Amino acid sequence: MSDRKAIRGTFLDFIDDPFFRPATESARFLADGLLVVEAGRIVNFGDYDEVRSQHPTLEITHYPHHLITPGFIDLHTHYPQTEMIAAYGEQLMEWLDKYTFPTEAKFQDADYARRIAVFFLEELLRNGTTTAVVLPTIFPQSVEVFFEEAQRRNLRMIAGQVLMSRNAPDFMINPAGKAYEEMRSQIQKWHGQDRLLYAITPRFAITSTPEELAMAGALKAEFPEVYVHTHLSENLKEVEFTAQLFPESRDYLNVYEQFGLVGDRSIFAHCVQLDESAFGRLSKAGAAIAYCPTSNLFLGSGLFKLHQAKSVTQPIKVGLATDVGAGTSFSMLKTMGEAYKVAQLQGQSLSSLQAFYLATLGAAKALSLDDRLGNFAIGKEADFVVLDPTATPLMKLRNPKPATTLEEVMEQAFTLMIVGDDRMVKATYVGGAIAHSLL
């Protein structure tokens, strides 16, 4: 039996990059559109009248005065840090020692890990996030329960066991040889299973020995289709310590380059302290940056140079990320708002279209998943979010009328990213089915 159904409303998505193309050529706005989904995919999309005439019998859900966008993609976050969000008073290295490692140690307990994984995934959906690149912990059971719960919800998620073999408390160390066997069997079990994908995940250069990074590189060579996901150049003290640990590397990025970990399926979180040369090498390698504005502000790490990363001459693939629990919100709308402020502090601006792009098609491109995710192109996976621009009294005052033009929707989207949060997420659809709803 067909599960074909349709969603009617106002749609905004992207067909090109608004950092490089004008709004009218990069964004697609339908004031009254119809999205037809079947078997988890988009089978038709366009103006309501036109698409409706092609499907005379169709079950339609209508969201008047809402804005429907592709599901948000969070390019970097830590599910075990959910319960330690808002940990006071430290910068990166001290924050890890004082709060993070003791919290992550609890994930030896699979039942505990599952409880937090479930909470985390539900929280993503409450915020309209349908795909995320996620760090579990060093414990294989924390990886297993995460994949199991993501699979149960039919989510497209990317994760992989965290590698740590030095510069951490004993209880957070896993020998590289043991980790290799664990990761190998996880890749075989989970990568490409339903919508799940695997990432080789050294925490960062500081917590890996050269032998462990060599092992990670060997595993990547053995399974070139899996991702590499790690942190890069977040905090000045971290950069200095990395230079001491790897004196033969020309800079932080070069540590990963030397071990074969920098390529077009590599995702590097932060990149706040990178210089011109490193930006150029990331561009050349086709690697992606996960830009985490709330986290960079919270830990006082610095201001990411988004406009340098999106330069015409050396463009780098960038997506937005929450980086919970150093990030301060699960909301990609709030994350966009903080990215706007970080741009302002550097004398730049970030348009609503650019911000929404970084959380949808831009992030899908960063993951080389733009053939499956990121916009409403026919054939893509039907993950999308229904946003309510009148969800609160203030938003109702600010957005009294539905958007009918591209200019109006740009303004409305801007109010969503500056004032908005999870209250604006009316419904989240995964594979064409409602996964979260305020109704």
Q: List residues near Zn ion by CB under 5 A.
A: 269, 323
| Cβ neighbours for 111, distance < 8 A, ≥ 6 positions apart | none
Identify which of residues 132 and 219 has a Cβ nearer to Zn ion in the complex: 132
Q: Shortest distance, CB of residue 231 to Zn ion, whole angstroms?
A: 6
**How far apart are alpha carbons 142 and 78 in whole angstroms?**
11
As measured in angstroms, the least distance from the Cβ of 76 to Zn ion is 6
Q: What is the DSSP letter of 171?
A: G
Q: Could you tell me the smallest distance in angstroms from the CB atom of residue 323 to Zn ion?
A: 5
User: Cis ω on the peptide bond leading into residue 286 (within 30° of 0)?
Assistant: no
User: CA 410, CA 385: separation in Å to the nearest integer?
Assistant: 17
Nearer to Zn ion by C-beta: 67 or 358? 358
**Shortest Cβ 331–Zn ion spacing (Å):** 17
Within 8 A by CB and 6+ apart from 124, the residues are 74, 130, 132, 330
Residue 361 and residue 376: Cα distance in Å, rounded? Answer: 10
**Least distance to Zn ion, CB of residue 153, Å:** 23
Report the residue number, 269 or 386, with the smaller CB distance to Zn ion. Answer: 269
Closest separation between CB of residue 4 and Zn ion, Å? Answer: 40
Nearest distance, CB of residue 359 and Zn ion, angstroms: 17
Backbone angles phi, psi at 295, to 5 degrees: -70, -45
Nearest-approach distance from CB 82 to Zn ion, in angstroms: 13
Specify the residue, 323 or 370, whose C-beta has the smaller distance to Zn ion: 323
Beta carbon nearer to Zn ion, 257 or 323: 323
Which residue's C-beta sits nearest to Zn ion?
323
Question: CA-to-CA distance for 425 and 167, rounded, in angstroms?
Answer: 41
Closer residue to Zn ion in complex, CB, 30/213: 213
In the complex, minimum distance from the CB of residue 87 to Zn ion, in angstroms, rounded to a whole number: 13
Question: Terminal CA-to-CA distance of the chain, rounded, Å?
Answer: 26
Would you call 105 exposed, middle or buried from its count of C-beta atoms within 10 A (0-12, 13-18, 19+)? middle
Nearby residues of 25 by Cβ (< 8 Å), 6 or more positions away: 16
CB 79 → Zn ion: shortest distance, Å? 11
Closer residue to Zn ion (CB): 75 or 269: 269
Dump the DSSP string for 231-300: EES-SHHHHHHHHHH-TTSSSHHHHHHHTT--STTEEEEE-TT--HHHHHHHHHHT-EEEE-HHHHHHTT
How wide is the angle at C-alpha 119 spanned by C-alphas 115 and 123, nearest 5°?
A: 170
Nearer to Zn ion, 234 or 421 (CB): 234
Q: Which is nearer to Zn ion, 70 or 325 (CB)?
A: 325
Instruction: Please say whether the dihedral angle defined by the alpha carbons of residues 45, 51, 52 and 58, taken in this order, is positive or negative.
Output: negative
Longest dimension (CA), the chain: 68
Dist. CA 62–CA 34, nearest whole Å = 9
